[in-house]
Amino acid sequence: MPYLDTYSGSWTKKEARHLLRRASFGVTQSLVDTSVSLGLSETLNILFSENELPNPPLKYVLDGTSNGEALDPAANYGETWIHGDVVPVEDANTSAKNIILRYRTRSLYAWSYLQMQNAEMSIREKLTLFWHNHFVSVNGNPHLEYYYMNLLRTNSLGNFKELTKQITIDPNMLRFLSGNQNLNTAPNENYSRELLELFTVGKGDAVGNGDYTNYTESDVIEIAKVLTGWRTRGLTNADALTSYFQSNRHTTGDKNLSHRFNNAVISENGDQEYKDVIDKIFEQEECSLYITRQLYIWFVNSEITSEIETNIIIPLAEIVRNNDYDISEALKKLLASEHFFENVFCMIKSPLDLMLSATKSLLLSAPTTSVKEEYEFAYILYLACSDLEQSVFNHPDVAGWKAYYQGPLYYKTWVNNFLLPKRLEYCKVLVTGGDLVIDDKNYTVPPLVPVLLIATNITNAEDPNILINELASQLFNYEITESQIISLKDILIPGLPDFEWTIEYTDFLGNPSDDAIRISVENKLRSLISVMLQMSEFQIM
């Protein structure tokens, strides 16, 4: 079996959709056509291109004195607030401060959704979310969260080892895992434990008292000592967004690692000592194996058999090590492989993948008539994903979303008896419009999917069989059965022969300004597409 040999089959829309769906969020027909014309190699080159970072989130509400409007001194409407004070309003007006922080948080969350929605042919946003799920850091302050995510986005295509160093002293992470409370008089092991167990080598099996395959409890203690002395300032401080090293709170002297790290000694090195211990951790081959498994689960399949370990994980991990922990070459190798293109329809879409595959496939985007409308619409879709238990910035725990680490269910976690009906209803509402009820609050979604445009972009859409097959190809990426076509035709033209659709759609094309004909055709298309989005075929990729 070729495994990591470069895919040598035909490069068609089917293969292009598979790659773009896994490597980014959703895909438009235009991007698919572009990829087909580029070919596999050039598509990957563009996916991994270093693009300019996006402009920061904006203030999307008007200043006012009523209805909870934000009197934010940091920005005018349509400007960014990230250069303002971390805690706004100097007069300690708690109500005003909370209003401002609430709108900034919503602005950040909506903006984050828009980055995924508006990304073109780029893997950066998918990798940014990967690192967000890997280096989980929950805080609640929008400024800290923005700069934490900006760190992940900036380094998303880069070096795993260097990102680990930067995240170790990131103010958001220092607060989240008690790093700023890690003192020589009272070492705190929260971060050192997660650094080993979740971020770098993984725990492995217990093989003795306090001894695991990849580290020991004594390593957790010694690494905690290495990291003592790093602090954060209060949120009202002008330097709240930076960390600093306080030498008198640092544990001095040598730190001795266990046999799991070849009894290495980390010599006293002040504010550079954290880099030394991370370099030592990354000398373990298990670091490359661990991150390669995580990337495989994220992009390919949750099942890592002994065969996959031998033929995929181990050789890719070697590429990671040979590139000093730059991940791009190994990931390109994986995404270009025969193995990747054999692993189709085995991944249940995450809520974000579900929403964005629906909106992008159906040419649905946030309204751009104003910043306010754009951000409010994006925030509703962000909330919908959160309601389906994938809330960016708000992981359930430090291990991330269960779909990517908790066997045997893995991706099936997204479709339990509680979540599946919600997924289906949200898919329907995206097409037909209606109310999304989230946390007992109604959010109205207008019917913005341009179903008439989608149909007119399909050649010979007056034939219901061609129309349905082409929609299936775009939404499901493979042919559906004859019985499914018959069932879907019954949604489009209930109990009627094919020619009834042909006549009605042809009449619409000839008389597009006739409201009665247009509304009838539009309603039929909305019903058809909404049902297709609720089919199991749309829930997987």
Both tokens of 247, joined, read 């030498």
- Rounded distance, CA 224 to CA 352, Å? 36
Longest dimension (CA), the chain: 85
- Would residue 265 count as lying in a domain? yes
- Rounded distance, CA 3 to CA 508, Å? 50
Cα dist. 34→20, 27, 341, 422, 477 in Å?
A: 11, 11, 19, 34, 16
- Would residue 500 count as lying in a domain? yes
Angle between helices 482-492 and 464-475 (to 10 degrees): 110
Q: What is the number of alpha carbons within 13 Å of residue 364 lying toward its C-beta?
A: 24
pLDDT, tens digit, 9 for 90 and up, residues 493-507: 999 999 999 999 999
Task: State CA 458 to chain mean position distance.
Answer: 31
| pLDDT score recorded for residue 105 | 96
pLDDT, tens digit, 9 for 90 and up, residues 383-393: 999 999 999 99
Last residue of a domain, one of 267, 283, 299: 283
- Would residue 397 count as lying in a domain? no
* pLDDT at 24 > cutoff 70: yes
Both tokens of 376, joined, read 């409010």
pLDDT, tens digit, 9 for 90 and up, residues 373-427: 999 999 999 999 999 999 999 999 999 999 999 999 999 999 999 999 999 999 9
Averaged pLDDT for residues 314-333: 98
- Number of domains, the chain: 2
Q: 503: domain range? A: 451-539
Average pLDDT, the chain: 95
Per mean pLDDT, which of 63-67, 76-80, 250-254 is the most reliable? Answer: 250-254
- Would residue 178 count as lying in a domain? yes
| Residue positions counted in the chain | 541
Averaged pLDDT for residues 209-231: 97
- Rounded distance, CA 87 to CA 24, Å? 34
**pLDDT tier at 94, thresholds 50, 70, 90:** confident
Both tokens of 156, joined, read 């998303």
Averaged pLDDT for residues 330-355: 97
Q: What is the DSSP letter of 159?
A: B
- Would residue 425 count as lying in a domain? no
Cβ contacts of 511 within 8 Å, gap of 6 or more:
517
Instruction: List helix spans (H) across 119-170.
Output: 124-134, 142-154, 160-168
Cα dist. 48→35, 356, 367 in Å?
A: 14, 20, 29
- Would residue 507 count as lying in a domain? yes
- Rounded distance, CA 325 to CA 19, Å? 23
* pLDDT at 480 > cutoff 80: yes
**pLDDT tier at 210, thresholds 50, 70, 90:** very high
Last residue of a domain, one of 248, 283, 318: 283
pLDDT, tens digit, 9 for 90 and up, residues 152-193: 999 999 999 999 999 999 999 999 999 999 999 999 999 999
Residue with tokens 């508006």: 118
- Would residue 487 count as lying in a domain? yes
- Rounded distance, CA 65 to CA 67, Å? 7
- Would residue 260 count as lying in a domain? yes
Nearest CA-CA partner of 464 in 515, 428, 505, 432: 505
Last residue of a domain, one of 266, 283, 300: 283
Q: Is 302 helix (H, G, I), strand (E, B) or coil?
A: coil
